Amino acid sequence: AVEALFKDKHIMITAGPTREEIDPVRYISNHSSGKMGFAIAAVAQQLGAKVTLIAGPVSLPTPPNVIRKDINSAQDMLNAVHETIATQDIFIACAAVADYKVNKISAQKLKKQSQNITLTLSQNPDILSSVAFLEKPPFTVGFAAETQHVESYARAKLEKKKLNMIAANDVSNSTLGFNSDRNALIVLTSSSTQHLAPNNKSLLAMELMKLVHKEYSRS
């Protein structure tokens, strides 16, 4: 049996990609499958937590006894997160949120026109920062998807976004990270660095949640 490390704790997890609509039939998105975030949700629930999973469009079953809310865009994810963030003890942002949205979503399907067309994009809200900068933030864990300088870029995000912890992954390796069953993480706090070796996402999620518990207990 697994220990109930997070008994009676409320943990919210974001997972999967977001979709930013261009017109009624097209969107901008990324390769996130939701597997990493769903594995974390399943493990957190097994460890006794009451889990809320805010999921982008993915084709994965809901882990047992997890409350799931499905969203499409980054703005929808932001709204869903803030509906119940005040009651959460821990927030884990594993979603691959689109940094930009299309400025003007076309009401009609865009017709093929000239050789080149230009889409104007504007920045989406940063969901993770919006939680970390709350007056009474939960214990906040971010992810960092990097293709180079993984540890230093992640440490910069930890500091800039005022996070308790960040889990960085190298997404330049196609056998790990996005849309794969395996991943490897570098987990950072302001005073520590821990390497979690390549593993399947369920086992990795268990190792990560043990580190989260250790750090959360000290906070």
Contacts to ligand PMT from residues 95-114, by CB under 6 A: 95-97, 99
159 sits near ligand PMT (criterion: CB under 6 A) = no
79-98 positions binding ligand PMT, by CB under 6 A? 93-97
Nearer to ligand PMT, 25 or 193 (CB): 193
- Residue corresponding to tokens 């990493």: 36
| Shortest Å, Cβ 75 to ligand PMT | 10
Residue 85, annotated as binding a ligand:
no
Q: How far apart are the C-alpha atoms of 148 and 145, rounded to whole Å?
A: 9
Q: Does 41 bind ligand PMT (CB under 6 A)?
A: no
- Whole-number Å distance between alpha carbons of 120 and 103: 6
Listed in sequence order, the DSSP H helices in 87-200 are: 127-132, 150-160
Residues in a beta bridge with 54: 14, 69
Distances (CA, A) of 195 to 107, 111, 144, 184: 47, 49, 14, 8
Is 127 labelled a binding residue?
yes
Distance separating alpha carbons of residues 157 and 135, to the nearest angstrom: 19
- Residues touching ligand PMT: how many (CB under 6 A)? 29
Tell me: is residue 138 an annotated ligand-binding position: no
Residues that bind ligand PMT (CB under 6 A): 14, 16, 32-36, 74, 93-97, 99, 124, 126-128, 142-145, 157, 169, 171, 177-179, 183
